[in-house]
Amino acid sequence: MNYALRAVTLTGALLVASLPATLPGTTAVASTKASATYLVGASEPMTGAEAEAGTEIYNGLVLAVEKVNAAGGVLGHKIRLIEQDDACDPQTSVNAANKLVSLGVQAMVGGYCSSAAQPAEAIYARAGIPNIQVAANSSTLTSAGYHNVFLIDPGGSLQAAEAASFFSKVLHVTRLLIADDQSTYAVNVAQLTAKDLRGTSTQVLPVQAVPDTQQDFSAVVNTVRAEKAGAVYWTGYFAQAAEFVRQLRAAGLKIPFVTADGSVDPTFIKDAGSAGNGTYATIAVLSSFLTGAAAKTFDAAYVSRFRAQPGPYSAYAYDGIFALVDAIKAAGSLAPSKVIAALHKVRFQGLTGEVYFAPNGSRLGAHFVVLEVENGQYKLAPHQPPA
């Protein structure tokens, strides 16, 4: 497979029988023959440590596009996805954005790492196309004033509030060590969590910045021990999280280990092994933990289509496509400027909750939960922070 560029025109034939109309965002779309295609760019990691997360996001996009196209497309146009690899790397992401714009995409729906999404914002803004980020969620993404940016995954401020409440009101931690991997997303969550804990009974120790290439956590583990930290909050990605908790447990430290949503992935559970059991994670609610018929249908369709369980952000990717589709239908036009204006007003019930946006493009209508790894599986933690 050519991982530099993957372009697929999806007809949805495989899902006509298996994905009924109970899924959100599927209100009447004309079944007229498509006269042209509507190009949607998708930029996420296809290579590197986060490639599996990128695949899970892309698969969610595919399910949504196949559903739309099986019903005739949007305004008579079939959607065509064109994917570029951003490798969760800022420069690679800029190259991917330039490539997608040069290919004439009329919208971008994707994104996983905030550090990769942020430098590409200016490129999509200059092109004047909608930039819908389905997993990247640093609050810095909506602080540059770009009118075309929309986050499907709720921003870092909501995650920080959930984490702060969990540490101070559920775990009753008196001394907390926060560590990040120096990425835009991780630093943002770390800083906001520390800020939210000011004035509480939880004292935050100096944040530990760990380069994202580092696998030796001995210095941080020693700091945890020396500072008598009662818990650890890792705000980086899953590639390092498993090694961190393994080394923490090997040192005999059994304190709560909590990750932010960038580490919620089956790879973390697999690589952490027994050390992963009993760890926690803060994350916006996943389709796997919802009880509605639409969420169950989505999960079943994903397994049937890809022979794998959906990833943490597959449903967010699905909702990202339907945010775009609903905005196009509301605008009655494919013109990017009109679609952007409609996105600011769109409101629908998605797989991940109600989807609508604050004036700056931050996601509204979703909420965070705390997960716990039990017997190698993510489950809702028995004690959730107070609302």
Report d(CA 277, CA 361) in Å as an integer: 36
Number of other residues whose CB lies within 10 A of the CB of residue 369 = 17
Domain annotation for the chain: domains and CATH numbers: 5-155+289-366 (3.40.50.2300), 157-287+369-380 (3.40.50.2300)
Report d(CA 115, CA 138) in Å as an integer: 9
Least confident span in 17-21, 119-123, 228-232? 17-21
The pLDDT-based confidence of 287 (bands split at 50, 70, 90) is low
Judge whether residue 28 has pLDDT over 50. Answer: no
Burial of 145 (0-12, 13-18, 19+ CB in 10 A): exposed
Average pLDDT, the chain: 89
Report d(CA 348, CA 356) in Å as an integer: 7
Judge whether residue 289 has pLDDT over 90. Answer: no
Instruction: State mean pLDDT over 304-320.
Output: 94
pLDDT per residue as tens digits for the range 67-108: 999 999 999 999 999 999 999 999 999 999 999 999 999 999
pLDDT per residue as tens digits for the range 104-135: 999 999 999 999 999 999 999 999 999 999 99
Sign of CA dihedral 187, 193, 194, 195: positive
For tokens 């952007």, name the residue. Answer: 340
Report d(CA 120, CA 135) in Å as an integer: 15
Judge whether residue 15 has pLDDT over 50. Answer: no
Instruction: State mean pLDDT over 216-242.
Output: 97
For position 288, what pLDDT does the model report?
61
pLDDT per residue as tens digits for the range 52-61: 999 999 999 9
Report helix, strand or coil for 359.
coil
Report d(CA 179, CA 244) in Å as an integer: 10
Name the nearest CA neighbour of 314 among 264, 279, 270: 264
